[in-house]
Chain A
């Protein structure tokens, strides 16, 4: 959105010269210039950047503003920008009641409303932002940031500032820093919450302005992310300056003099300094420790490693750390571990934050009582709902074996009541059962594995929910399709013998044309025919594969001398597969023998043949949807996706046609061309948005290197979507001439919530309870706790007191 607003505001842009923000040979001591028509024209001809106010009325409000303008004239002078006001009517008419920033060469860079540039901070930040428009990248989504990171990788570091509202002092500080350091670092400005999440901020809503330093220059590998350091102080010019200096300073400084005498860069930067010690024997170890501490305190504290071996070092051995706050005495400490060191500073630096965090902790754990799993939550919300399971037969130990042997087709759902996916799927399963009521020969049943554990064990069910098909004559078949109403319903309706044995060429023809089993053509138009000679024993492999594909694809088998004629007709060698995509479409032919030279591997597994068949039946230019995506992702090629909008316009049809055309040239073979209809697959919209950071005008063509590098390329929307252009663009992408428009996250999905650590709770509430015994203490000899005593008592030997047995009525 901001992007567009930027475009629309730069209406009056007529840039003639080059921007050179460093020239500051100001001849005129910068005050607010009152410009006449002539002096304004002069300025237009000079090569100065100028910020000019046009206005004629003077009221109290404007007066206050002019004061701010006056102040900004001082501030902007440092950046070589003149500030003036114009009251001339002629000029005023031309530019109306706005402020404009003029760049050298009299091009209007941008115009502002007084509301936008309300005070000196707003003026400075907006003017600088306009001037630096080409240097400072404005990003909104993680993908955009990744693109910036990619460009910077190995060359320079990135400074990213998050500003909630433009024009505040933080914005000014960031822009001022960008003006100074803009050539050294790539500056990035963002206002968006998505990026905060990306940077690991848990609650983006309540975050003040922030600044990150992304250490990209040292990153060489493409896929490696840039490590980043968060500036923990408020965004002010001086803090940013100090922070950037610290980023430049070495991570760890080493010295051989006493802490009090050390003179390092940190002392000049007014930051706390921590001194750690080492001696020659433990040098490497100490250095590693110091480095890890330094890394954790980076940007806040300077870390110096002192070599004790030098005689100049007088710090007593009992101290292992020294720290010095700016303008304060050094303090000596003995610390036990690195956490303690870090905490020392964290406590001081974040005293006020701590209180907040404690509260946050409480919230955090109570928030764990909210279900964070979409399936579990939606099932939980249905907890008041009782499912009507009348259309299902609930099978038991007693009824199971007869049910599965007596029905011609018994479909059984194995589920667990506490498994959310099981219970959610049960709803779909019931829908299928209701839809199939009255369909002869097929019956749906269910087994609650929480109750009938023996059945589930005997049926080898290790995954819930599972759907098994029991044909009276075949071994049980596991349903391996999508667990959804439509898929399962279609699967069950497509239960024809697999393979269909064909005995004559006439039958083959009828099979391929879809006449045979024509009722099923609406379900799956695809037919696969195996052609084998009667002498070929591999036909058994085909039969096995066909059995496992039952319900998914309708397969025919023609074992006949005449198979040769069919093969010749399609110019393939036997054995062969014919794939028909519907009546009237020429079937595709694939030879099975040519794919593998040795006979042993052909006959090796039906699994190979099965996946081969599945590959052959894939659509060459599929419409991707929720249901079929997996089959195409499996191919492993980059996806060349055409995103089309909800309505079927001529434009959509044309672009699809162009894609087909491009494909027919054979130049798209390195990718998988496909399309997503955002009306039918609304989730595609968020995919597109995630790729590019915004939803571009549709149709949009995107190359998504899902399995190869993770880059996303966007076909330039200004170019016409024509076959030739597509091919050319792909070529440029391959040659690395196109910049990626986004990145697909490579991050693994870690735990979604912080871990509730019982061990640390125990350690805190019952010290020693969860601690390993030290080898010295004997069991039970530990502490006088009740527990210890209780465990001890059975072992105590019988009393040997010489006293009469005491009357101890307990």
Chain B
């Protein structure tokens, strides 16, 4: 294996040497042809746009496999997004250092910030010990990651234009930076994240402050009535920070609040930021309202103007005279044509309260803040490099294949938060703790596609499959974080199987092409983690299932194994049952959810799983003591697999009389008439005292 890898490496170096030579030649040609010698053209097999977590993560994998890559970053340090966001500087990604476990893989289930690497201590906990760390820690961590792994990042390189070009038959990309220098890339990774604030066009949208620019000092909001557009985490984060200063906070957006602890989607409102729900429900002047954004209007109405007309006994809410004007939320259709947005022209008739006397948002606001999230920057992609808009997330994200290649832009991959369209509102692909695994998966796809290195697979004896699945189920972080999206694939091959980790299950029909591994006539298993139907009250009675026979009703994250005799087709995939990550299989097994997420119990977890595997493989997978194998090997021409792969291979498992006794009492091992005291143990102790004593004095471990 290592030999093979070494050989491939040698080959690659050769190829690279030739490429270098070619690039030198082309450079010479281009220099001689151009007048401006400063505009160099750089050639790379792989270009990564953006030195955020996704870019650095891919950089690490490319550097580990010794590829020619460059990371281009317009700022002077990595992760610049985190220099500014979140505005109130508290990360809500869990940084749980103490798990009671030493298993590094398991611990990544509760470390949402670290990137993947083979350095065991290159973890986020080195920069912060807080469960919800300060945002400044993140760029620090990224710098450390980049520095310690020696990743090649070119800072202060602002790519303003990306266009496609034909590179000897395959599509490549040319990137142009602020100085006009070109980067010719055979493969481009767009890891630019989402940083363009999402805006909705409505009348008066210019009067609204954006999350990106609001003051973060709560004192600035003292006794102010604030309307926040949006009900996501940034909206609530903003609300939370001013909760003690603002007089009234109203939150307005089309959909109701979705709580992450109910939906299991970390992009929904996290409990870290949800104090406003308390003040709302305890009627302490804050509130949530649902309504569309496109048809509203925010209008400014001077206080004086209002006063002059309000002669009657209507109660006045705002007495402050410091503020010149206040904002009202109204509907665009209530405004007079042509003169919208002019404070002087707004009359009571233009406001909804005039028509509907108990309209919720009838009172004016001192500030209106837009917290509607961010969108992908589509603007720099030209012509055939243009990325299509995905239909989900209101078109904020590019449309991608199941292996994260742009639809219509071969060799251009989108990674990181911008790649969230694949599992928007479903899984964790838009977040560091999720996309660090998709990046790894994409890298494996690349190795196969461009370097003919098949997806790494562990070859296992079929009799070891049960243990191995339990091992993965109990520690693997990839399928745990990227539930329903990344799954382990087990290619069954009779007495052996190949275990592939963390394959994007949506790409299952293309498994052979993407992974370079073939599906045999024995079929395959896919192991994914899944949340359940969520039909019950999240905190109510009956929320947890403990009967393994009802495991399919588990609500919490639990392992599900699908068995297919044949690889599902694209059509099977499209028509999969509603809410399922995969098509209806030939057989399925749910492992019952576990309070401790430890799926290792013999009766509830292990045995049902074994029975399922036995059904799929049509073979007995039980373990047997050597004595049983002895008997079965002599009385059956096809003894059980465990005996074939262990005992008959001279690696039988003997046991001791104490254990045999248990098995005999359980009726699982025949009792022998007469001489029940088995020869093994009795003679052994005798043997030990003799041999041990003889050897202790004279043995010499010469080596």
Contact = CB atoms under 8 A, between A and B. Distances in A.
A375 B623 contact: yes
Nearest to A752: B620
Given A744-B636, A749-B640, A420 B699 contact: no
Contacts of B635: 686-687, 690-691, 744-745
B293 to A, nearest CB: 6
Contacts of A770: 577, 580, 584, 588
Contact of B584 (A365, A376, A756, A759): A759
Contact of A646 (B572, B603, B675): B675
A365 B680 contact: no
Interface stretch (A1-9, A161-169, A435-443): A435-443
A799 B630 contact: no
A771 B584 contact: yes
A143 to B, nearest CB: 9
A374 B648 contact: no
B122 interface: no
A753 interface: yes
A795 interface: yes
A483 interface: yes
A22 B651 CA distance: 62
B198 interface: no
A12 B100 CA distance: 82
Given A493-B691, A493-B695, A378 B701 contact: no
Contact of B622 (A374, A450, A744, A779): A374
Interface string B570-591: 0110111111100111011110
A481 B651 contact: yes
Contacts of A484: 626, 652-655, 680
Interface in B578-627: 578-580, 583-585, 587-590, 600-603, 605-608, 610-612, 614-615, 618-620, 622-627
A374 B624 contact: yes
A374 B692 contact: no
B653 A809 contact: no
Interface in B502-538: 533-535
A379 B105 CA distance: 27
Contacts of A425: 653, 655
A420 B602 contact: yes
B290 A683 contact: no
Interface stretch (B45-53, B340-348, B351-359, B429-437): B351-359
A771 to B, nearest CB: 6
B331 interface: yes
Nearest to B256: A810
A489 interface: yes
B701 A772 contact: no
A687 B631 contact: yes
B349 to A, nearest CB: 13
Contacts of B650: 480-482, 630-631
For chain A, which range describes its interface: under 10, 10 to 19, 20 to 34, or 35 or more residues? Answer: 35 or more
B666 A451 contact: no
Interface in B71-100: none
Contacts of A756: 549, 608, 611-612
Interface stretch (B25-33, B134-142, B175-183, B468-476): B468-476
B633 A629 contact: yes
Interface string A403-419: 00000110000001111
B623 A486 contact: no
Contacts of B679: 679-682
A511 to B, nearest CB: 14
Interface in A778-801: 779-780, 782, 786-788, 790-791, 793-796, 798-801
A710 B637 contact: yes
Nearest to B652: A482
Interface in B678-703: 678-680, 684, 687-688, 690-692, 694-696, 698-699, 701-703
Nearest to A483: B653
A417 B663 CA distance: 19
Contacts of B631: 683, 686-687, 690
Nearest to B253: A798
B647 interface: yes
A485 B658 CA distance: 13
Contacts of B601: 418
A524 B458 CA distance: 36
Interface string A431-471: 10001101111100000011111100000001110000001
A685 interface: yes
Nearest to B687: A486
A519 B672 contact: no
User: By DSSP majority rule, is chain B's interface helix, strand, loop, or mixed?
Assistant: mixed
B561 to A, nearest CB: 10
Contacts of A639: 634
A800 B578 contact: no
Given A464-B464, A758-B551, A809 B288 contact: yes
Interface string A718-758: 00000000000000000000000000111111111101111
Contact of A751 (B534, B552, B575, B615): B615
Given A681-B630, A751-B619, A795 B392 contact: yes
B603 A371 contact: yes
Contacts of B356: 804
Contacts of A418: 467, 470, 474, 600-602, 605-606
Nearest to A790: B534
A759 B587 contact: yes
B291 interface: yes
Contacts of A289: none
B382 interface: no
Contacts of B337: none
Contacts of A25: none
Interface string B277-310: 0000000000111111111100000000000000
A416 to B, nearest CB: 6
A594 to B, nearest CB: 27
Interface string B418-435: 000000110000000000
Contacts of A480: 650-651
Nearest to B265: A794
A473 interface: yes
A782 B576 CA distance: 13
Contacts of B630: 625-626, 629, 681, 683, 687
A470 B659 CA distance: 29
A810 B648 contact: no
Contacts of B425: 794
A791 B579 contact: yes
Contact of B691 (A396, A523, A707): A523
A462 B623 contact: no
Contacts of A657: none
Interface string A386-403: 000000000011000000
A149 B621 CA distance: 30
Contact of B577 (A691, A769, A780): A769
B628 interface: yes
A72 interface: no
B662 A378 contact: yes
A397 B102 contact: yes
Given A751-B615, A756-B608, A770-B588, 17 more contacts: A372-B622, A378-B663, A378-B666, A409-B703, A416-B470, A424-B653, A431-B684, A453-B475, A519-B694, A633-B648, A683-B627, A687-B635, A744-B635, A745-B635, A798-B293, A807-B360, A808-B256
Interface of A: 365, 368-369, 371-382, 396-397, 408-409, 416-422, 424-425, 427-428, 431, 435-436, 438-442, 449-454, 462-464, 471-474, 480-487, 489-490, 493, 495-497, 519, 522-523, 625-627, 629-631, 633-634, 639, 646, 679-683, 685-687, 690-691, 704, 706-707, 710, 744-753, 755-759, 761-762, 768-775, 779-780, 782, 786-788, 790-791, 793-796, 798-802, 804-810
Q: A-B pairs with the 4 shortest C-beta distances?
A: A484-B654, A805-B291, A418-B600, A378-B662
9 contacts: A368-B607, A374-B663, A378-B666, A381-B665, A439-B699, A450-B103, A493-B695, A681-B679, A786-B535
